[in-house]
Every structure is written in C-alpha cells, then in structure tokens.
C-alpha cells in the first residue's frame, strides 16, 4: 500500500535507534519510596519508548543498606563477611522487583535480575569485590525479547559461587560495567543532585554545576571525597571509554558529562572542583621498613592513601572505616605506632593545573588567610590535597572554592 512508502524513512531511523543500548542507574534517594519507584518506572518506560534497549540498575531504597548493616551489628559484633554480603545485597533486589511490578502496570515488559542472575562475576573479596567478568547472555536474551531489564546493583557472584558486594556506592560500578559489556556508549547516572558540582552543593551553596569533567579529574574528585560516584566506576568507565552522564532523577535537565579530556576543559578554568573528607586516620609508625609495613597493611585490606617517610618514621593515612584492620595489623607487626583521628582532607582538583604553576601557592595563601595550617600536603599532577583539622574542613572548602573563583559562571566550562 502507498502508505508504507511514507513510513519507510522513520521505520529505518527507528530501527537504527533500536540498536542503541541505554544503561540507566538510579541511586537510593531516587527509589526511596513507592511513589519514587513509580516515577523511576515511568522514566525507564519512556526511555524504552524512544527505541532504546534499556537496562536499569537500581540501588536499595533510601538508607536501607545502612539499616541492614546496623541490623547485622545488632546480632553480632563481627558479622562473617560472607553472611554480611548475603544480607546487605537484599536491598537492591527489593527495589528491582518493585520497579518491575510498576513497569508492568505501565504496560511494558520487564524482568528483574539479581547481580548473579545478570552474570556479574566478581573476585572473592567480600564487602569490596571487584567485577572480573560480565556474562551478559541472559540480559541479551531478555532485551531481544523486547523486555526492560532491571539489575540489582552493588552485587555479584564470586568465582566461588558466593554472593558478594562491591563496596558502598557500588551500584555505580554495576551500571558502568554493564554499559561496557553491552557496548552502550553512555551510562546515565540518575541521582539526587543534577550533576557534578565545583564542590559538594550541600556544603557550598554557591557551587556551580560543571558541564564536562575528564575521567582523570573525576577519579581524583571521587577518590578525595566527592562520593557522588564510586571511584571504581570511574576507572571502569575510563578503561572502556564509556561516557557518563550524571543527572537528576527529578528533572529532565542536562547534567554533567564525564569523558575524555579535551582542550576546552583545560582552557576554561584552572581548577574544576574542591572535594573533602571528614574522617581520615593518620598513622605514625617507627621500627619497620616500608616494604614490610605496607605488605602487612595490604594483606589486612587497609586502603592506604598518603605515605610519607621522614627519617625512621613512616606516616600514612587511611580511611576511618579501616581503623580496626589497621590497628590489628600494626599490633601484629610489633612496632611502635600511634594514630590521629582529628583530621580531614581538602583537595583542589583540575586538569588545567598541569600547565599552570602557582596553584599550590594560591591554595596555601587562601588557607593561611583563614588561619588554617595544613598538617600534611600531597600532590598529583592534577590534585593538591591537604590534611587539616576536622573542625577546619568546612571553612577550608569555602576558602579554596572562592580563592579559585569557582562560584563564577566561567567555572561551569559551558561548551557544546
Ligand atoms: P546516590 O544515592 O544517587 O548514589 P550519592 O549520595 O551516592 O547518591 O551521591 C550524591 C551526593 O553526592 C549528593 O547528594 C551530594 O551531596 C554528594 N556530592 C559530594 N560532592 C559532590 C559534587 N562535587 N557534586 C555533586 N554532588 C556531590
Ligand atoms: N546500596 C548500596 C550502598 O548504599 C549501593 C549503592 O547505593 O550504590 O552503598
Ligand atoms: Mg552513590
């Protein structure tokens, strides 16, 4: 019939678009209650309606992972890591099953899968497992059948067939790993802020939303406290060239693109952002060699960050959550050691730093002007990190944010 001729062009176009796979990840606040899950379901169905093959990765509802962890410690002071993973992986499964129900009610087909069912294979390190393989056959089959696939974030199955979890914030990594495995060009991270800001917008109201951030900058931001993305997820994205689009669940506005560095990112602003942490432990150890010390700490699973050697002393920092493991390891070594728990960090990060001297001088001047003297300073080619007293962290962030004019419109790096 004549009408088919007129339909040919759009049909070809939509067939091409149908090839696109879209991975959408929704964080805990985005699925915090039944109403929000229904809204998320609508958004997922809309993306499917635009011709995408849609895989959605969901986090546990609201703070339910925290609740599960608390519950475990009410039962036992030292829950077995295997059982803890069995327990805390449950939250994501609940969100996915509920979202699948909501999607059915909107007239679309959906299937919810645990990490294990989705083929997320990890190593055997409970509590912070690494994804080693994605066996996506089941996801592909479901997508081929025209279904929306919901995958429980934050979890997988180990090479020993046990359920593992990927560390806090791990749903980001589930999503990016799936995007890489499925050949999706973009992984959308939906969250409760509408992008990556020049500082945590909850702490700095003047913070500006960045238009684009390089993988390297995002890695440094995440590693130095901007918990909006799990560090590992950015590593996976960079290694597999998956573009990330961090955006709001609650609006249609464009968010922040995380992708390969380009010239325009370097031109626009020297510094892209300021990040902070509150609970750092700084250890001082005497009477051993770095080789011995760090081998023992690595074995104990302590995430060592800054390391400084001064004479016979070794100084290193590690997150507060690794405190017990570090104490045990240091006691076992039979060395002299002490620790400070009154420090946090504040970091300035920016790819533009590579080609512009004077950033450190400006940072120290700004801190000194506010009477803040860093205890320890570490740098990378695109980061300067200062340990300061915990009570000074908020002020240090504000001082650096304004010293580098991150509240100005230019800080946004607006470009097409
Ligand atoms: P989700 O539950 O969606 O995974 P998270 O709580 O893990 O969300 O991450 C989002 C939060 O990250 C925001 O609410 C914000 O307070 C915090 N955050 C910290 N630093 C930044 C930053 N530079 N830009 C945006 N958000 C940030
Ligand atoms: N629910 C997990 C957590 O709170 C994983 C995630 O949300 O990414 O850490
Ligand atoms: Mg998160």
β-pair type (383-389, 336-349): antiparallel
Biggest distance spanned by C-alpha atoms of the chain: 88
Asked if the model's pLDDT at residue 5 lies above 50, the reply is: no
Dist. CA 129–CA 165, nearest whole Å:
6
Q: Which residue minimizes the CA distance to atom 5 of ligand 2?
A: 169
Question: What pLDDT band is residue 262 in, cutting at 50, 70 and 90?
Answer: confident
Token pair recorded at residue 392: 């000074």
Q: For the sheet containing 186-191, what is the strand order?
A: 110-113, 148-152, 53-58, 21-26, 186-191, 243-248, 256-259, 212-214
* HSE value, Cβ hemisphere, 13 Å, CA-based, for 202: 6
Q: Lowest mean pLDDT of 252-256, 302-306, 341-345, 400-404, name the range.
A: 302-306
Asked if the model's pLDDT at residue 31 lies above 80, the reply is: yes
Q: Which residue minimizes the CA distance to atom 9 of ligand 1?
A: 228
- Cα(217) to ligand 2 centroid in Å equals 23
Best residue among 169, 172, 174 to mutate for probing ligand 2's pocket (most ligand atoms within 8 Å of CB) is: 169
Asked if the model's pLDDT at residue 15 lies above 60, the reply is: no
Q: Considering every ligand atom shown, identify the ligand nearest to the alpha carbon of residue 28 and give its number.
A: 1
Q: Which residues crowd ion ligand 3, with CB under 5 Å?
A: 27, 169
Q: Lowest mean pLDDT of 6-15, 40-49, 258-267, name the range.
A: 6-15
Asked if the model's pLDDT at residue 12 lies above 80, the reply is: no
Residue with tokens 């406290």: 225
Asked if the model's pLDDT at residue 415 lies above 80, the reply is: no
Question: What pLDDT band is residue 370 in, cutting at 50, 70 and 90?
Answer: very high
Exposure pattern of 166-198 as b/e (b: 16+ CB <10 Å)? Answer: bbbbbbbbbbbbbbbbbebebbbbbbebbbbbb
Q: Lowest mean pLDDT of 82-86, 132-136, 317-321, name the range.
A: 317-321
Angular region, 301: left φ>0, alpha ψ -120 to 50, beta rest: left
First-to-final CA distance of the chain: 43
Residue with tokens 């499917």: 48
Asked if the model's pLDDT at residue 14 lies above 70, the reply is: no
Best residue among 28, 200, 394 to mutate for probing ligand 1's pocket (most ligand atoms within 8 Å of CB) is: 200
Residue with tokens 């590593």: 235
Question: What pLDDT band is residue 206 in, cutting at 50, 70 and 90?
Answer: very high
Write the pLDDT tens digit of every residue in 226-243: 999 999 999 999 999 999
Q: What is the pLDDT of residue 246?
A: 98
Q: Mean pLDDT across the stretch 259-271? A: 78
According to DSSP, the residues that pair with 132 across neighbouring strands are: none
**Number of other residues whose CB lies within 10 A of the CB of residue 409:** 8
Chain mean position to CA 132: 18
The response to whether residue 65 sits with its C-beta less than 6 Å from ligand 2 reads yes
Question: What pLDDT band is residue 267 in, cutting at 50, 70 and 90?
Answer: low
Exposed, middle or buried, 19 (CB in 10 Å: 0-12/13-18/19+)? Answer: exposed
Q: Which residue minimizes the CA distance to atom 6 of ligand 1?
A: 228
Nearest 5°: the CA angle 219, 223, 227 is 100
Tell me the percentage of the chain whose pLDDT exceeds 70. Answer: 94
Q: Are 340 and 281 in contact (CB under 8 A)?
A: yes
DSSP 3-state of 368: helix
Token pair recorded at residue 67: 């609740």
Angular region, 190: left φ>0, alpha ψ -120 to 50, beta rest: beta
Asked if the model's pLDDT at residue 7 lies above 50, the reply is: no
Dist. CA 155–CA 90, nearest whole Å:
9
Question: What pLDDT band is residue 269 in, cutting at 50, 70 and 90?
Answer: low
Question: What pLDDT band is residue 105 in, cutting at 50, 70 and 90?
Answer: very high
* HSE value, Cβ hemisphere, 13 Å, CA-based, for 170: 26
Asked if the model's pLDDT at residue 85 lies above 60, the reply is: yes
Token pair recorded at residue 102: 């909501």
- Cα(34) to ligand 3 centroid in Å equals 19
Q: Considering every ligand atom shown, identify the ligand nearest to the alpha carbon of residue 88 and give its number.
A: 2
**Closest ligand 2 atom, residue 91 Cα:** 1
Best residue among 27, 65, 90 to mutate for probing ligand 2's pocket (most ligand atoms within 8 Å of CB) is: 65
Please state the φ and ψ torsions of residue 90, each to the nearest 5 degrees.
Answer: -70, -35
- Cα(152) to ligand 1 centroid in Å equals 20
Q: What is the pLDDT of residue 8?
A: 37
Asked if the model's pLDDT at residue 265 lies above 80, the reply is: no
Q: What is the pLDDT of residue 73?
A: 96
Asked if the model's pLDDT at residue 332 lies above 80, the reply is: yes
The response to whether residue 115 sits with its C-beta less than 6 Å from ligand 2 reads no
Q: Mean pLDDT across the stretch 213-234? A: 96
378 or 158: which leads in pLDDT? 158
Dist. CA 176–CA 377, nearest whole Å:
32
Tell me the percentage of the chain whose pLDDT exceeds 90. Answer: 84
Write the pLDDT tens digit of every residue in 290-318: 999 999 999 998 989 889 998 899 999 99
* Mean predicted lDDT score pLDDT of the chain: 92
**Closest ligand 1 atom, residue 230 Cα:** 7
Q: What is the pLDDT of residue 305?
A: 87
Residues 6 or more apart whose Cβ sits within 8 Å of residue 35:
none
- Cα(355) to ligand 2 centroid in Å equals 37
- Cα(59) to ligand 1 centroid in Å equals 14
**Closest ligand 1 atom, residue 30 Cα:** 3
Ligand 1 binding site (Cβ under 6 Å of any ligand atom): 27-30, 59, 169, 191-193, 196-197, 199-202, 226-228, 273
């Amino acid at each position: 019939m004549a009408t088919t001729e007129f339909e040919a062009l759009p049909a070809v176009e939509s067939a091409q678009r149908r090839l696109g796979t879209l991975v959408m990840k929704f964080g805990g606040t985005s699925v915090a209650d039944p109403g929000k899950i229904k809204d998320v379901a609508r958004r997922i169905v809309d993306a499917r309606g635009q011709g995408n093959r849609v895989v959605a990765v969901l986090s546990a509802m609201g703070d339910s992972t925290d609740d599960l962890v608390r519950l475990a410690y009410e039962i036992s002071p030292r829950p077995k890591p295997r059982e803890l993973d069995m327990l805390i992986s449950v939250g994501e499964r609940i969100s996915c099953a509920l979202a699948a129900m909501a999607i059915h009610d909107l007239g679309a087909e959906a299937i919810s899968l645990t990490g294990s069912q989705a083929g997320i294979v990890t190593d055997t390190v409970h509590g912070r497992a690494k994804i080693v393989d994605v066996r996506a056959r089941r996801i592909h089959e479901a997508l081929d059948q025209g279904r929306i696939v919901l995958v429980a974030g934050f979890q997988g199955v180990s090479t020993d067939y046990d359920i593992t979890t990927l560390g806090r914030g791990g749903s980001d990594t589930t999503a990016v790993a799936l995007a890489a495995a499925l050949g999706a060009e973009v992984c959308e991270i939906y969250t409760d802020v509408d992008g990556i800001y020049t500082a945590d917008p909850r702490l700095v109201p003047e913070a500006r939303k960045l238009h684009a951030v390089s993988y390297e900058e995002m890695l440094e931001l995440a590693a130095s406290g901007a918990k909006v993305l799990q560090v590992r997820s950015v590593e996976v994205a960079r290694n597999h060239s998956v573009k990330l689009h961090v955006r709001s669940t609650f609006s249609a506005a464009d968010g922040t693109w995380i992708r390969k560095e380009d010239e325009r990112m370097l031109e626009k602003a020297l510094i892209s952002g300021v990040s902070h942490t509150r609970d750092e432990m700084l250890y001082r150890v005497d009477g051993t060699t770095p080789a011995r010390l760090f081998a023992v700490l690595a074995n104990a699973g302590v995430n060592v960050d800054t390391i400084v050697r001064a004479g016979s002393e070794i100084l290193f920092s590690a997150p507060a959550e690794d405190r017990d493991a570090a104490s045990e390891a240091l006691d076992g070594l039979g060395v002299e050691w002490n620790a400070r728990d009154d420090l946090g960090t504040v970091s300035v990060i920016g790819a533009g730093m590579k080609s512009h001297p004077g950033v450190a001088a400006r940072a120290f001047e700004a801190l000194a002007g506010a009477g803040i003297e860093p205890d320890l300073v570490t740098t990378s080619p695109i980061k300067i990190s200062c340990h300061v007293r915990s009570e000074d962290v908020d002020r240090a962030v504000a001082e650096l944010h304004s010293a580098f004019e991150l509240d100005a419109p230019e800080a946004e790096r607006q470009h097409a």
